[in-house]
Amino acid sequence: MFNKSKERRKPTGSVQFKFIVSFFTLIAALLVILNTYPLIASRDLVFREKESAIMSQASVISSSLSALDGLSADSVAQVMELLDVTGYSRIIVTDGAALVLYDTAEHSGIGKYALFSEVDRALGGEQVFWSRFEGGAFTSRAAIPVFRRGVTLGAVYLCEYDAEQASLIMGIQNQLSTISIATCALALFLTVVFSRALTARITSLAQAIRVVSGGDYAHRVELVGNDELTELSNEFNNLTERLEITEQQRRRFVSDASHELKTPLASILLLSHSIVQSKDMDIGMMREFVTDIGSEAERLQRTTDKLLTLSRRDDGINNGKAPVDVGEVVRSTMRLLTPLAEADRVSIEYTLEEGCIVSASEDDIYQVIFNLAENAIKYNVPGGSVFITVRGEGEHVLLTVEDTGIGIPELDRPLIFSRFYRVDKARSREAGGSGLGLSIVRDTVLALGGDIEVSPREPHGTRFVVSFPCWIGEGDAE
Amino acid sequence: MNKKRLPVLILILLLLLSGCGKSEDSTTQMTIYRAVSPAYRTDGELLRAEKISFTPGVGIINSAIAAFNAAPETQELQNPLPEGGRIVGYRLQNGALRLQTEGCGDLKGHELTLFCCSAVLTFCSIDGVKTVSIYSVDEELSPPLSENDIMLADTSA
């Protein structure tokens, strides 16, 4: 995938090229429409105007000739002289057999037969007109019959060759073409400029992605403007920032975990070497060393168990949920912790409200209560107390664990849920703490949709308040 | 072989060979003008030339008359003769061709013009014919006309 992105891209495959082609095509299409439509409309207008004018003129001639008893060359010539029709390149009048009686052409066709399709159709009773624009001129032809008392006496044929209006339209066409070419060139230039500005930012973003992919998580994209690309760049920066934090946490975690595992292993190694290298060690000391090795192994086991629990949480593996009575779990957990509390001379008092049921696995609730209560006992003072309360409040079940111990400094409070974080490292290790208990508590509570808060307890000690969503029975849910 | 008879035999052989050569291409073409069928006349020509192959054994004018009387080869064209009408004979004198017709006496106006002009253009294309006049029995349907008396298109514009 990385190699693919490094492949040399064809110029035609770039976003800039596609943008230029799309935009330019759009502009060109618009210009083509703007160039053709007015000309077509102008020509149609000229055609209509010519049809109206020429047909009117032909009708006047036809009407005048229809007053004659019969068409002859002389009588037609007299009528045409009276009408004095000008402006046409040719006017022909034929009799009913298409014999030309009158012709204004330079080489007159009088006495000849006019076998034109227009004359033919006019002699058939039709009114004919057509006009076309070609060769830089409008050529228009019209023919209409000359009727008298329902009988076709002949036909009138008019031909007009108009280069003047054609020249005007062609002038407009040339001007439009010039303007269009200039507009196209300007559009192309602007498209290149704008697309380059746009794609430069995309290229910069792609470059930044490659840099971050290479491991430089501190790299950021410079935010320019306030558009969608700026938003995208901002999201990229946020993502990279989160990635950087995650990477830092991962490194710290690996470092801390290595350290936590290395310490008991080093102790075990040292103790075992001492036993092996000491030839005359007495049995009492050897037993003490072996006991220490066992303790360190237990600590190692606890740490790896908790790491495994956290890893399962990180992987999103949830234990099956069922209605769990939090008070019952508190009772059973206290039974397990009573020997530890007695050994540390700490008293445990609990107030449990009935019916505080949450939807969770019993193991998860046990983990939360055990870790909080164990910490409350371990970091207490001789003769101190631990107070545990479970009660319902609205749609939540609140679990409160308070101790009368040494308390947590305010600066350390936001960090106590971080993995391997210890407030008092020496005392924690001495007490057998792994620095993972509160992380497990926080992750478990959040996975159950709950919340946890820590605050100082007056006059001394610490208070943890855990809020779980109440279990809603099937009947209640409806 | 007798030496006196040899030139005679060669001559006979050459004559036979020349005869064989002629029989390979004994037809020639002539132009017959037809009326364009009304359905195909829109803004176009009224008469159109049709090339006809014929054997000049019976005389070119007789062949032209036979071809003129026959039906056109395409449906775009039609014979300008009326139904039952035909050219039955001719007389050529000093370039003036007089055609005798049968069944054409009722033709009038524009239809008569199309028939006459078709005949004039057809027969004036034959060498030796300058004008063509058309008769039905003794009635003159068309005075002597030449190709110059017919305008097939307006070329003024």
What is the CB-side half-sphere exposure of residue B14 using CA atoms within 13 A? 6
Rg (CA), chain A: 52
Give the DSSP letter of residue A377: H
For B41, the token pair is 């006349």
**Residue B71: helix, strand or coil by DSSP?**
coil
* A131 has a pLDDT exceeding 60: yes
More confident residue, A3 or A36: A36
The size of the A-B interface in CB pairs under 8 A is: 70
Confidence (pLDDT) at A166: 84
In 3D space, the residue among B144, B107, B102, B109 whose CA is nearest the CA of residue B123 turns out to be B144
| pLDDT(B23) > 50 | no
User: What number is the average pLDDT over the span A80-108?
Assistant: 92
> Residue A92's closest CA among A141, A147, A49?
A141
For residue A130, pLDDT over 60 is answered with yes
Q: Between chains, do B43 and A115 touch, taking CB under 8 Å as contact? A: no
Task: Name, in order, each residue with C-beta under 8 angstroms of A49's C-beta and a sequence gap of 6 or more.
Answer: none
Mean pLDDT lowest for which of A14-23, A113-122, A461-470, B136-145?
A14-23
Categorize the per-residue pLDDT at A159 as very low, low, confident or very high, splitting at 50, 70 and 90. very high
pLDDT-derived band at A367 (thresholds 50, 70, 90) equals confident
Residues B35-42: what's their mean pLDDT? 83
- Is residue B15 pLDDT above 60, yes or no? no
Per-residue model confidence (pLDDT) at position A274: 86
Residues in chain B: 157
pLDDT tens-digit readout, B124-153: 999 999 999 999 988 999 999 999 999 998
Closest partner residue to B110 (CB to CB) among A97, A105, A159 is: A97
pLDDT band at residue A347 under the 50/70/90 scheme: very high
- The values of phi and psi at residue A88, to 5°, are -115, 145
**Residue A412: is its pLDDT beyond 60?**
yes
Q: Which of B108, B113, B154 sits opposite A116 (nearest CB)?
A: B154
Q: What is the mean pLDDT of chain B?
A: 84
Q: Taking 70 as the threshold, does the pLDDT of residue A474 lie above it? A: no
pTM over 0.80? The answer is no
Mean pLDDT lowest among A76-90, A424-438, B48-62, B139-153:
A424-438
| Closest residue on chain A to B154 (Cα) | A116
* Chain A residues within 8 A of B151 when measuring between CB atoms: 100, 109, 112-116
Q: Which residues contact A112 (CB under 8 A, 6 or more apart)?
A: A99, A100, B148, B149, B150, B151
B95/chain A closest Cα distance in angstroms: 20
Q: What is the pLDDT of residues A10-58, one digit of tens each?
A: 777 777 788 888 888 888 888 888 888 888 888 899 999 999 999 999 9
- Smallest CA–CA distance, residue B152 to chain A, in Å, is 5
Burial B75-84 (b: 16+ CB within 10 A, else e): eebbbbbbee
How many angstroms away from the CA of B90 is the closest CA of chain A? 23
Position A261 scores a pLDDT of: 81
Give residue B43's pLDDT: 61
% of chain A with per-residue pLDDT over 90 = 36
A114/B45 Cβ within 8 A: no
| Predicted local confidence at residue B3, as pLDDT | 60
Contact across the interface for A115 and B156, Cβ inside 8 Å: no
Q: Which of B42, B149, B153 sits opposite A116 (nearest CB)?
A: B153
Which of these ranges, A221-225, A308-312, A442-446, has the smallest mean pLDDT?
Answer: A308-312
SS3 A349: strand
Over residues B48-94, the pLDDT tens digits come to: 999 988 776 678 899 899 999 999 988 889 999 998 899 999 999 99
Task: Say how many C-beta atoms besides its own lie within 10 A of residue A48's C-beta.
Answer: 11
| Cβ pair A117:B45 closer than 8 A | yes
Is B113 within 8 Å of A100 when comparing Cβ atoms?
A: no
**CA B65 – CA A423 distance, rounded (Å):** 130
Q: How confident is the model at residue A90 (pLDDT cuts 50, 70, 90)?
A: very high
pLDDT at position B21, please? Answer: 44
- Report chain A's mean pLDDT, rounded to a whole number: 86
Average pLDDT of the residues in A300-326: 80
Helical ranges in A278-351 per DSSP H:
283-314, 326-343
Confidence of residue A299 (pLDDT cuts 50, 70, 90): confident
| A225-242: average pLDDT | 90
* Interface contact B43-A109, CB threshold 8 A: no
Band of residue B12 on the pLDDT scale cut at 50, 70, 90: low
pLDDT at A289 over 90: no
Sign of CA dihedral A317, A319, A323, A329: negative
The answer to whether B147 and B121 have CB atoms below 8 angstroms apart is: yes
Which of A90, A98, A109 lies closest to B110 in CB terms?
A98
Interchain contact A115–B (C-beta under 8 A)? yes
A144 touches chain B (CB under 8 A): no
- pLDDT of A433 reads 65
